[in-house]
Structure 1
Amino acid sequence: MIRDDQEMLARLQQLVEENLGNEQFGVGDLSRSVGISRSHLHRKLRAAAGQSVSQFIREYRLRKALDLLKEGQHTVSEVAYLVGFSSATYFSRCFANLYGHPPSKTDKVEPFGQEAGPPGQVKMQWKKSISSKRVWMLVLLAILLPYTVFFVIQLSGRSKANGVMTKSVAILPFENLSDEPSNAYFTMGVGEAIARKLSAIADLRVVSKTAMFLEGESKESLVDIANKLNTFYLLKGSVQKFGDMIRVEVGLVNGKTGHWIWADNFDREFDDIFQIQNEIAEKVALHMEITLSPEVRSKLNLGYTNNSVAYDLYMKAHYEFTTYTRAGYTRAHEYVKQAIELDSSFALAYSLQGNIAIAKGSMFGVELDAMEALSQAMISIRKALEIEPDLPEAHAVKGFYHLYSDWDFKKAEQAYKKGIETFNTEGYALYVDYLNFAGRHKEALEMAQRLEYIEPYYPNTRMILCLFYNQQIDEAREFAQSRLRVVRNYLTMDSYGFVLLNSGDHQEAIRIFQQIFELENIRYPRILGWMGAAYARSGQPVRARELIDELKQHRALNSAGSPAFFIAVIHAAMDETEDALHWLSVAIDDHEMEIPWLTTEPQFYQLHQHKDFRAMVKKVGFPGT
């Protein structure tokens, strides 16, 4: 048994030294070597040195790496492998995080025993006791605090600085420092939860994680990133999860200067994750000179659970849901079902369950027919709203139900507006669709721009379609092309193919549609319909009819994906008006999911004055009819 802190630290250093080149040597190996559990070792090391076990191992390796680099006998890659890093890139990132400089700049690294890096990072003092360190840190803090507070107030007191809102913050992707890469869902979930809580502050603009999902590989400075996102502050962080313990390091950066304003670390048991997220949100607000009203504080935990295992499952479900793939929806469904089984009062989980049901009946889920998907969704949403009547996520899905199931545009808009009262990207996206259906294209574009402003690089962007409907065709194509260089998913390719088809570039549209089929090896009815229209418009009627036959075969199995609607699309593109109207009538009788797109589908523009088409529009209840 280890008897005192000094002996323990010496023994741990010896064990890491003996396994320095073994990249597999981790927390479990170290705890087994000293004969105590991982959690017990974590508590002892935290008390003795202010570090987690994984941080202790990593920083010992990095300090050895600094010695080797200063000797100048090895390259950076060689040193990385010598000290147990299997990736030179990850080694360089960790090195820079610890010392504030890359491995190639060791001449700028401070010597042992001195602090390095941004404030709030806990660094081991190898030549001073931890108690001595804390005394001097408190003295230094007492000296600097008045100046720091004055500086922060001077910056935060202004409503604008160089045209940028001072009360604006971008939540950069939190770094996963866990031993297991599979914990990425947890890291992402923590960052999202903090963004959601901060968005409850009415006068604070929050830019979410997907705005900078490439930031981890970016070479840009923090100032450049803040300028690109038009935010005054940046929130950076990292998360470690090991056993039943978590460590969250987070810091607030002035985006105009790149200086750290505040940073801290939180080492707790996993059950405390909810409190950690609330504390971070409150401290960020404090350092931005924002006072949290009782109403805002009451919203911090809106919809959450007190069951940490259920919350972990929810984060996994949400992570899979935002892949926007059929496989992701399947996994998300299982995770959220387990979360609800553990906590039947978990409102956010019910809301996500409803969203998943809708997605499985959507144009790219194509697993359930419309009414089955909508019925399943509403069961979950009613439960969510029974628990949390003001939950924005649930109201957004309720709006979808009113629109696609009831064809009730008035109730749909009322629910959608409640769905965007706080940060909710899915709610914004659904409301944009509604505005386009209602013929309010200018409003839709303004709302899509607001969504882009809140969450740049949102993978389910509505900008492409809104630019098209506002007759900004070149801008729509340019936006789609620029986005595809970053995100190549179904949603972006779907919208780009739509614009190509309806701006006369039929062959390029066909090429994009073929690529969509290859994403998950699924022949989506929507894409079959649009591809058929592209064949028809480009003088290839035989191929167009082949796709009509394929859609009919699909419909014989089920109506998921709106096959009748897209049979009508192809007939309309072939100028076969009566056939198009017949299949639209079938689609309405089948209550297919695509019906709200009736008046905004360009292939039907030529039908708008036909009495039968106008009767269908009135039957669905579009505004103005």
Structure 2
Amino acid sequence: MENAITNKFRQIILDHLDDDKFDVSHLASEMGWSKSHTFRKVRSITGVSANQFIKKTRLQEAAKLLSGTDLNASEVSYKVGFSSPSYFNKCFSKYYGITPGDYKIKKTETTSINDADLISASSRIRKFQYILYVLGTLLFIVGILSIFTGKKESQEISIAVLYFDDHSPESDIQWFCNGLTEEIIEKLAGINDLLVTSRTSVKQFRNSDLPIDEIAKALGVNYILESSVSKSKNSDSVRIITQLINLKDKHVWSNTYDESIENSLKLQNDVSKRIVEQLDITLSPEEKKNIDKYPTDHKEAYSLFLQADYQNSLFNKIAFKKAIPLYEQAIALDSSFIEAYMGLSEIWQIGGLVWGLYDEQEAWNNSKQLLLKARTIDSTNTQLEYNLHLGYFYYDWDFEAMEAYYQKRLTKSSFDNLTGVILDYGIKTGRYNEAYLINERYIKKSPKLSHLYTFKAEALMFLGKKDAALEVLERKNPLFSDDFYYLRSSTKLYFYLREHEKARDQLKKIRMNLPNDNPSILIWLDAVFARIDGENEMATFYLDQLMQLYDKHSSGSPAWFIALYYCYFEDYEKTFIWLQKSFDRHEVEMTWLREEPLLIPIRNDKRYMDLYHKIGFSKIE
């Protein structure tokens, strides 16, 4: 059976031999498996990783072509799916211990042997085959035993990059520490043979006193990069100490760097390369290019960008206000600095959505201009394409553009981490099963992303599986207790699942973590809970707050949430008054109209159907 599966693996690779883009994602798609299942299955059957098996198959076919055809080494490299002859030469030499050119010469110079030699050789081969058979049988038995005793080799190399600790006397360069951490995570995440824990997951261990081996086990990785930064007082020079530690808390590699803050670009590339060397990973030309890539050559622009990104990560109005001019200064110094455009665009885009920090249309207009400018710099940037369609859907209600993008993403054999609007769109257009299956694929690829579990619970809720939805939330609550995206979504889900006390608990956590932010969705929940408790005066107070936000043209969809308040308490006339106001104001939460559970009682009303068609849902039916 295993031989049959191995042969199938090999045949699929041979069918795509000259395709240099063929990778594990394509192999998984051809097998009809998930990427993670393919990783495990290939490792358990062949003893090597899926990427190594693909590379090994290519190299074996290369050897056949070198010895059996007139093709030179460069021609063979393209025939077997290597986009770079030099990279092919490196891999071939490492695998066979000889260069492709020398291998070809050696094979063509093989001399003939006489019949006696053939008989003697044949006898020796039969003896050797017998020995191999016996050894093979023994190894097979040992392999079977190892499966039953659970002694399996680790499936993939995985690493978590902990946030750099600021050990400076004044602790004033946390922005620098954050920037270094996240840039290294991004560079390592671009390596196929390395699984990298997301920055969201490692944030919970910032300044943690837990032993490294416990952190590694909690994150499910076999390596940890731990680092610290100290800056001399009244100086721009920093000392950075990095340590690569394995699951058993043993040091694999460490180094000390004395650099200026301006030279951090070079430093993060060097650390990434050292990690790759220590883990004995062979990089493809594209992966090497990604590590060597600098987001900008302008050191001052990069320093401003890191400071802006740090403020961005704090996610509040005060921090955003500080970040905007920093991003703008970075762009002024380097007009081709695409990451700065993207960061600034993200602030406007998110600030105009549910958190209600900026006027919706002003926010989207600012964001769109930045994204369109960035597209003239790099039209192939996937993050940019995702952010544009996020805006087209939430702000423009362009269902046709979003549907085309959604279908395009579904045809991709591998999913990246750009997930939110894809899953949200699937659920908001009634494709619960499809959204659930897509989300499961995302979870297998990125099991540490918090919002994937609220989407999973949401899909299960819409599929009528309340207990399963609650089980997901209960299991993940401790892990994401300070993640505002998770807390906001789980609060709403608990409310819809009629677990009011749990919704209140999550609401308290949000208030503790974000005391200065009070978006419409939270005020709406305060109003509903106050009226449920019989505190009508408090309910009116919160309702008035929402109406004041509406009068001020605040984003965060206040009219929508006022409509939900009235609908929950069965005042349907006022519900339609405020739904119409939400429509006229073009609020982003109107994209929920089709699937909003609280609106079920009014779905047969002509006024509801009129809004349904005007928003654009019928354009994709």
Q: TM-score, normalised by structure 1?
A: 0.65
Change over 3 Å in CA distance of 1:266–1:477 after alignment to 2? same
Matches within 5 A, 1:521-600: 521-535=516-530, 544-600=539-595
After superposition, what is the alpha-carbon deviation per residue over 1:71-128, rounded to whole angstroms, capped at 9, x for unaligned? xxxxxxxxxxxxxxxxxxxxxxxxxxxxxxxxxxxxxxxxxxxxxxxxxxxxxxxxxx
User: Any residues of structure 2 matched to 1:32-43 within 5 Å, and which?
Assistant: none
**169, 181, 185: which is aligned to 2:171?**
181
Secondary structure of the corresponding residue to residue 497 of structure 2: coil
1:248 matched to 2:240? The reply is yes
Q: CA deviation at 1:195?
A: 0.7
The residue aligned with 1:172 is 162
The correspondence for 1:335, drawn from 323, 326, 329, is 326
Aligned-residue CA RMSD in angstroms? Answer: 3.6
Aligned residues: 464
- The yes-or-no answer on 1:431 pairing with 2:426 is no
Q: 1:464 to 1:310 in 2, by over 3 A?
A: same
Report the CA distance shift for 1:554/1:175 in structure 2 as closer, same or farther (over 3 A): closer
Q: Which residue is equivalent to 2:496?
A: 502
**Residues 182-581 of structure 1 mapped to structure 2, 5 A cutoff:** 182-242=172-232, 243-255=235-247, 257-300=248-291, 304-364=295-355, 366-409=356-399, 411-412=401-402, 427-442=418-433, 444-445=435-436, 461-471=451-461, 473=466, 483=477, 487-488=481-482, 490-506=484-500, 509=503, 513=507, 516=510, 519-535=514-530, 544-581=539-576
Contact 1:398 1:412 in 2 (8 A): no
* AA of the residue aligned to 1:503: L
Q: Secondary structure at the match of 2:329?
A: helix
Q: Residues of 2 paired with 1:477 and 1:332: CA distance?
A: 37
CA shift, 1:453, in A, is 6.8
1:233-263 deviation per Cα after TM superposition (whole angstroms, max 9, x unaligned): 22222233443333333233332x3333333
Identity of aligned residues (%): 26
Q: 2:399–2:620: 8 Å Cα contact kept in structure 1?
A: no
With over 3 angstroms needed to count, the CA separation of the structure-2 counterparts of 1:161 and 1:226, relative to structure 1, is farther
Cα pair distance change 1:545/1:410, threshold 3 Å? same
Question: What secondary structure is seen at the aligned counterpart in 1 of 2:241?
Answer: strand
Could you tell me whether the CA contact under 8 Å between 2:158 and 2:221 is conserved in 1? yes
Whether the 8 Å CA contact 2:481–2:487 is kept in 1: the answer is no
Change (3 A) 1:371 1:478: same
Amino acid at match of 1:381: L
In the TM superposition, residue 569 of structure 1 has moved relative to its aligned partner by: 0.6
The alpha-carbon deviation at position 454 of structure 1 amounts to 6.8
Equivalent positions of 1:79-90 (< 5 A) are: none
Q: Are 1:602 and 2:602 matched, yes or no?
A: no
* Structure-2 change in CA distance of 1:347 and 1:418 (3 Å): farther
Alpha-carbon distance change, 289 to 508 in structure 1, aligned in 2, over 3 angstroms: closer
Cα 1:238–1:304 change in 2 (3 A) is: same
Task: Classify 1:296/1:485 alpha carbon distance in 2 versus 1 (closer, same or farther; 3 Å).
Answer: closer
Measured in 2, the distance between the counterparts of 1:451 and 1:308 equals: 36
Distance 1:168 1:522, change over 3 A: closer
Rate the CA distance shift 1:184–1:539 in 2: closer, same or farther, 3 A: same
Shift of 1:222: 2.9
The one-letter code sitting in structure 1 at the alignment partner of 2:494 is L
Question: CA shift at 1:558, angstroms?
Answer: 0.9
1:304 aligned counterpart, secondary structure: coil
Instruction: Give the CA deviation at 1:409.
Output: 3.9
SS across alignment from 1:320? helix
Spell out, residue by residue over 1:263-287, the C-alpha distance to the aligned partner (whole angstroms, 9 max, x if none).
Answer: 3333333333222212222232233
Paired position in structure 2 for 1:7: none
Shift of 1:442: 4.6
* Superposition pairs of residues 146-157 of structure 1, within 5 angstroms: none
SS of the equivalent of 1:470 reads helix
Instruction: Pick closer, same or farther for the CA change 1:161–1:404 going to 2, 3 Å.
Output: farther
Q: Distance in 2 between matches of 1:207 and 1:421?
A: 22
Cα 1:620–1:517 change in 2 (3 A) is same
**For 2:196, what is the secondary structure of its paired residue?**
strand
- AA in 1 matched with 2:586: H
Q: Which string of whole-angstrom CA distances, capped at 9 and with x for unpartnered residues, describes residues 207-226 of structure 1?
A: 03432334355454433322
Query: Which whole-Å CA distance do the structure 2 matches of 1:455 and 1:327 have between them?
Result: 31
Q: CA deviation at 1:525?
A: 1.8
Once residues 597 and 583 of structure 2 are traced to their aligned partners in structure 1, the CA distance between those partners, rounded to angstroms, is 18
Whether the 8 Å CA contact 1:303–1:388 is kept in 2: the answer is: no
SS where residue 248 of structure 1 aligns?
strand
Q: Counterpart amino acid of 2:584?
A: D
> Where do residues 37-116 of structure 1 align in structure 2 (5 Å cutoff)?
none
In the superposition, relative to structure 1, how do residues 216 and 326 fare at CA in structure 2: closer, same or farther (>3 Å)? closer
**3-state secondary structure, aligned to 1:550:** helix
Residue 206 to residue 535, structure 1, CA distance change in 2 (3 Å): same
Q: Which AA in structure 2 matches 1:200?
A: G
In structure 1, list runs of 5 or more residues that go unmatched.
Answer: 1-148, 150-159
User: In the alignment, which residue of structure 2 is the partner of 1:42?
Assistant: none
Letter in 2 for 1:483: N
Q: Give the SS at the match of 1:594.
A: helix
The whole-number CA distance in structure 2 between the counterparts of 1:263 and 1:477 is 44
Contact 1:369 1:558 in 2 (8 A): yes
Any idea what the Cα deviations from partners look like across 1:353-372, whole Å, max 9, x if unmatched?
Answer: 000001221222x2322211
For 1:122, the equivalent position in structure 2 comes to none
Deviation of 1:455 after TM superposition, in Å, equals 6.7
CA 1:486/1:413 → structure 2, altered by over 3 Å: closer, same or farther?
same
- CA 1:337–1:258 in structure 2 vs 1: closer, same or farther (change >3 Å)? same
Secondary structure of the residue that 1:263 maps to in structure 2?
strand
